[in-house]
Amino acid sequence: MVGRIAAVVMSALRPCRRYTQVMQACVCCGSKGRTTSSVLWPELVSEWRLSPEEAAYVERQQGFHCISCGSNLRSMVLAKSILDFYGAREPFADFIRDADRDLAILEINEAGNLSQFLRLSRGHHLVEFPDVDMTSLPFATASFDLVVHSDTLEHVPHPIAGLAECRRVLRKGSACAFTVPIIVGRLTSSRAGLPPSYHLGGPEKDPRTLVHTEYGADAWTHVIRAGFQQCRITAIDFPAAHCLLGVA
């Protein structure tokens, strides 16, 4: 059954071999200058069992970036998801500087290049995983207006419990916006029983980057299973970049 579902998803993707038009200006800072750099390495591609097409869109997600602020597609789609939730149309840098938006923001690990903008908010609070356990956050219930994390959840041993904690510390009607690397032609699976895989290259393997979950097309179900009322999916340059946003 799983193989059949994956085949259906992949057949839907075949007409989309060309990437859709990426946004004309950086969502984060408004600049129009973009470039790309190489990010993936052969060991990770092999461990992740990526096809050439999958490796190409993951490479684009992580390596295509703004020359001015450094934000890649992963950070841009995270910013766009938050802007859409608040009905904002300005660049994320202007949105976060707006003094009228006195948001209490919890950032779990630095959210890529978006972190440079999040820290401009007076209500910003940064914690580092795994120094702070994402499944047992040291904050009171309903403390924040926004929780943000980027490519962190796949490193949490119990990701649904981590999302449930994000929901607990949010005020009703507020949101948790996050990215995970999604391989759209697969279903989400655990790496339990497989050789260890890390999201940083080099001979020294940082245990904080050990992958516990490989996310696929059903990643949104973790948001609902964690107790959120809604899960909104934002995409830029499909199938390269996606953000999931859970509404508490």
**What pLDDT shows up at residue 99?**
64
**73 Cβ contact list (under 8 Å, min separation 6):** 22, 60, 61, 62, 64, 65, 236, 237, 240, 241
pLDDT tens digits, one per residue of 214-240: 999 999 999 999 999 999 999 999 999
**22 Cβ contact list (under 8 Å, min separation 6):** 34, 64, 73, 236, 237
Residue with the larger pLDDT of the pair 92 and 22: 92
* Cα–Cα distance, 100 to 89 (Å, whole number): 15
- Indicate the domain borders of the chain: 38-247
pLDDT tens digits, one per residue of 100-135: 778 999 999 999 999 999 999 999 999 999 999 999
CATH architecture entry for 38-247 = 3-Layer(aba) Sandwich (3.40)
**What pLDDT shows up at residue 206?**
83
**What pLDDT shows up at residue 63?**
96
DSSP per residue over 194-229, as a string? SPP-BSS-SSS--GGGB--EEB-TTTHHHHHHTT-S
pLDDT tens digits, one per residue of 162-221: 999 999 999 999 999 999 999 999 999 999 999 999 987 666 678 889 999 999 999 999
Q: Match 């097309």 to its residue by tokens.
A: 217
**What pLDDT shows up at residue 45?**
95
